[in-house]
Structure 1
Amino acid sequence: MDTSQPFSYRQGLEGGIGRGALFGPRFARPFHGVRTLAHDQADAVVSVPDALLLLCTQLAPRLRAGQFFSSETALALYGAPTPRGWQPCVHVAVHRPSYPPRTPGVVRHRLQTRMPLTREVHGIPVEDPVRAWVQASRIWRADDLVAAADFLVSPHRRLVSVDELQREASRMRGNRLDAVCGDIREGSESPQETRLRLAIVRAGLPEPILNLEIFDGTGRFVARLDGAYPQYRVAVEYDGRQHAEDSVQFARDADRWDDVRSEGWDLVRILHHHMRDGAAPAVEKVRTALRRAGWRG
């Protein structure tokens, strides 16, 4: 029997592994009824996403037909950004009349009767991203939901559309997600860019255009700006690097910043430390640039 992947206790018995071995030091028991090689516990975990994937892969042998990973677990498995300080949490759901597994360490959900729309991600059953996003709205804050939605609707991924999120959100009681859906934008390329945009708008500043491409007088492409105010020739670039580890890339970026400025743009660089205190320093930098360019807000 191949023991390189997690397997259920029953599968181990059927594969010829004795009861004593299944309870011995060779195998770890990450969940009740699941076995995996003991050294995998220490070797595999290097980051929060990897830790979550490991947990889900270990639990997968326990899942029965119709059971799947849901809510924030599903979003993280799709690669969506999670809240700051988030720790891996395993949510498993099933539609009525079935029941989710009773397993310590697992958050169980018994959903209304409905046609399942699961996908296979990393070889395990995962809730549809649209439904997972709405499910996560019960436990995530609004800004975290917007950041995840921006990821899902990104033109580079096209996992879902804004319309699909809005339709699914409309099924919820109340209107909590109305404002969240109104803040979703295609084109935001990182959760920090999303949070910066939200902070700018909440501070009463105009909303920047995302990913605006600018060209010089000969039609030569100059740059694609994270955020831009063409009317005021103000560009906003988020640079999350805390250190310039890649000197070659940093040199390219510096040349690009010079090119943007040479085209008459006031380039506002937002660095990691400008995002503290709810991005107040970043907002003030943008406000100053806009007022310098003639904005009277």
Structure 2
Amino acid sequence: MLRPNPLPLELSLQPFTVSAARDFGVGRGRLAGADLARPFHGVRTPDAFAAEDQDPLLLLCLQYAPRLAPWQFFWGETALALVGVPTPRWPHRVGLHVAAHRPAREPRTEGVIGHRLQVREPAIVVLSGLPLEHPVRAWRQAGSLWGHDDLVAAADAIVHQGWGTVDELRDEIRVLGGRSARKMRSALNHVRSGVESPEETRLRLLIVRAGLPEPEVNWILRDEYGRAIARLDLAYRRWRVAVEYDGRVHAEDPRQFERDADRWSEIRRAGWRHVRVLRHHMRGDRPRAVALVREALHDAGWGS
């Protein structure tokens, strides 16, 4: 089998448009080569570009980037996912959203969801060379696509990562709330500072929705000498009950499992009840997590 002619160096390691390739003198036959993927109309990606361990959404955005007009940027849930803000769980799939402010035009091509926004001063973040909507604005934009708990988890992450405050998120709703404004204001009422994972958020919401008291978030348990014993995901100081979500597969990291087991023992030695919630405890119409927390609180004197 004949090897394809090498591409110009400028095109050999990154996605490129067909028009750019023609400017380099690359012919139609070479652009049809089997070593070039065609992720979008008018774009080619050399095999050397795609890494197996690369985030699929980031890869898709990098492949689309050559088609971006100077006034276009990644929007809503796409921008949130790219900066590491949690998105809804499976079966939801984050779409490839690209936007532009009026009077400029949004893209219209297969595989891309285009949005034309109101006239407004842009607030763009650049990540890996990609222009993104600022996460505070992107969170509001996701309001029409996501449910309550997903919006709370994302807002918790935005606040924790330092992208914005609850007041800034609230101001964004006030300025351009749209039809989902009521849902988003409700979500902001449940945002708490210091949350470190979306599952912590979902567990807290699950507990409160079941009628149990709201726990404190990431509270530090100390011994009588002030030495930190553990940072607790969710803590009921009054009843000395610690609730923690554990979604890792410890068989892959036995040393981490051993450290955690020692930590759980220290929590119990400090006179606290420790409730360890696993992934399967969160599933179903009557999740076991609620019963575990309720039982620990009752044993500690809540409701008596």
TM range (shorter): over 0.9
Q: Tell me, what secondary structure is at the counterpart of 2:283?
A: helix
Quote the Cα distance in structure 1 between the aligned partners of 2:225 and 2:27: 75
| 1:169-220 per-position Cα deviation (integer Å, ceiling 9, x unaligned) | 2231452211111111121111111100000111111111011112111222
The answer as to 2:197 corresponding to 1:193 is no
| Cα 1:279–1:123 shift into 2, 3 Å | farther
Amino acid at match of 1:10: S
User: 1:87: how far off?
Assistant: 2.5
Equivalent residue in structure 1 for 2:165, among 161, 179, 184: 161
Equivalent residue in structure 2 for 1:137, among 131, 134, 143: 143
Indicate the residue corresponding to 2:22 in structure 1: 13
Indicate the residue corresponding to 1:68 in structure 2: 73
Amino acid at match of 1:199: L
User: 1:164: how far off?
Assistant: 1.1
Q: Tell me, what secondary structure is at the counterpart of 2:71?
A: coil
- Tell me if structure 1 keeps the 8 A contact 2:37–2:45: yes
The answer as to 2:57 corresponding to 1:57 is no
- Tell me if structure 1 keeps the 8 A contact 2:250–2:256: no
Quote the Cα distance in structure 2 between the aligned partners of 1:247 and 1:39: 36
- Tell me if structure 1 keeps the 8 A contact 2:275–2:296: yes
The answer as to 2:121 corresponding to 1:115 is yes
TM-score scaled by structure 1?
A: 0.93
Q: Tell me, what secondary structure is at the counterpart of 1:249?
A: helix
User: 1:242: how far off?
Assistant: 4.0
Equivalent residue in structure 2 for 1:250, among 235, 245, 257: 257
| Shift >6 Å, 4+ stretches | none
Quote the Cα distance in structure 1 between the aligned partners of 2:77 and 2:210: 29
| 1:92-122 per-position Cα deviation (integer Å, ceiling 9, x unaligned) | 0000001112211100100000011111112
- Tell me if structure 2 keeps the 8 A contact 1:45–1:51: no
Equivalent residue in structure 2 for 1:285, among 280, 289, 292: 292
Quote the Cα distance in structure 1 between the aligned partners of 2:143 and 2:63: 26
| Cα 1:278–1:160 shift into 2, 3 Å | farther
Equivalent residue in structure 1 for 2:41, among 8, 21, 32: 32
Indicate the residue corresponding to 1:172 in structure 2: 177
Q: Tell me, what secondary structure is at the counterpart of 2:110?
A: coil
- Tell me if structure 2 keeps the 8 A contact 1:67–1:92: yes
- Tell me if structure 1 keeps the 8 A contact 2:87–2:94: no
250-259 or 107-116, larger mean C-alpha shift? 250-259
The Cα RMSD (Å) is 1.6
- Tell me if structure 2 keeps the 8 A contact 1:242–1:272: no
Q: Tell me, what secondary structure is at the counterpart of 1:290?
A: helix
TM-score scaled by structure 2?
A: 0.91
- Tell me if structure 1 keeps the 8 A contact 2:61–2:96: yes
Indicate the residue corresponding to 2:4 in structure 1: none
Superposed, 1:80-99 pairs within 5 Å as 80-85=85-90, 86-99=92-105
Quote the Cα distance in structure 2 between the aligned partners of 1:176 and 1:281: 27
- Tell me if structure 2 keeps the 8 A contact 1:199–1:278: no
Q: Tell me, what secondary structure is at the counterpart of 2:191?
A: coil
- Tell me if structure 2 keeps the 8 A contact 1:51–1:88: no
Quote the Cα distance in structure 1 between the aligned partners of 2:52 and 2:40: 16
| 1:207-253 per-position Cα deviation (integer Å, ceiling 9, x unaligned) | 11011112111222211111101111111111112443212111111
Q: Tell me, what secondary structure is at the counterpart of 2:144?
A: coil
Q: How many positions carry a matched residue from both structures?
A: 291
Q: Which runs of 5+ in 2 are unaligned?
A: 1-7
| 1:13-51 per-position Cα deviation (integer Å, ceiling 9, x unaligned) | 1123223212332322111111111465xx53547xx11
Quote the Cα distance in structure 1 between the aligned partners of 2:220 and 2:62: 42
Q: Tell me, what secondary structure is at the counterpart of 2:25?
A: coil
Quote the Cα distance in structure 2 between the aligned partners of 1:249 and 1:27: 42
| Cα 1:62–1:151 shift into 2, 3 Å | same
